[in-house]
Amino acid sequence: MRNKIIVGIILIALAFFVYSNVASQKSAPQASSQSTPKPISETDSPQIVSTKPDPLDNAIVSATETIEITFNRPLQNIGEFKNRIEPKIEYKVELSGDRKTAKIIFEKPLDLGTSYTLSIGPDTKFDGMGDWGQNKDYHFRTITYKGI
């Protein structure tokens, strides 16, 4: 009986030791596999660095979701962010404080089960760079309502 108690205590101690090591590994900061982004030089061309949702192309979005496009350079102003959405729907664009993120906010909920195309035109202008010079299309859709 005494041997069983000793074995039980050893097993409990071992389990505690293993659990402690696993828990500390989960909470320890992990080294990032990504390197630090290099600073933007005056000659770097404008690029899209992220979208929300990510990825935006072929995404399924909610009817009230705000779409965000983030660039590596600041846009000149809202009027120089040349964009359109097909089929046509009312929306407004807001820029973040650093003018690198354009937020597309829909005035009314998007139609369910509908596919949309967001186009960013080549005449979009960035600080110190002039026209972007390329066209970028994103295709996304809303969920289809199938009833209850």
Does the pLDDT of residue 18 top 90, yes or no? no
Grade residue 147 by pLDDT with cuts at 50, 70 and 90: confident
Residues 116, 140: Cα–Cα separation, whole Å: 5
Per-residue pLDDT of 101-122, as tens digits, reads 999 999 999 999 999 999 999 9
* pTM across the whole model: 0.70
Could you please state the CATH topology (level 3) that the domain comprising 48-142 is classified under: Immunoglobulin-like (2.60.40)
- Is residue 58 within 8 A of residue 139, CB to CB? The reply is yes
With cut-offs at 50, 70 and 90, classify the pLDDT of residue 13: low
Q: Where are the domains of the chain?
A: 48-142
Summarize pLDDT for 52-72 with one digit per residue, the tens: 999 999 999 999 999 999 999
Using the 8-state DSSP alphabet, how is residue 4 labeled? Answer: H
Question: What is the DSSP-derived secondary structure letter of residue 57?
Answer: T
Q: CA-to-CA distance for 135 and 39, rounded, in angstroms?
A: 25
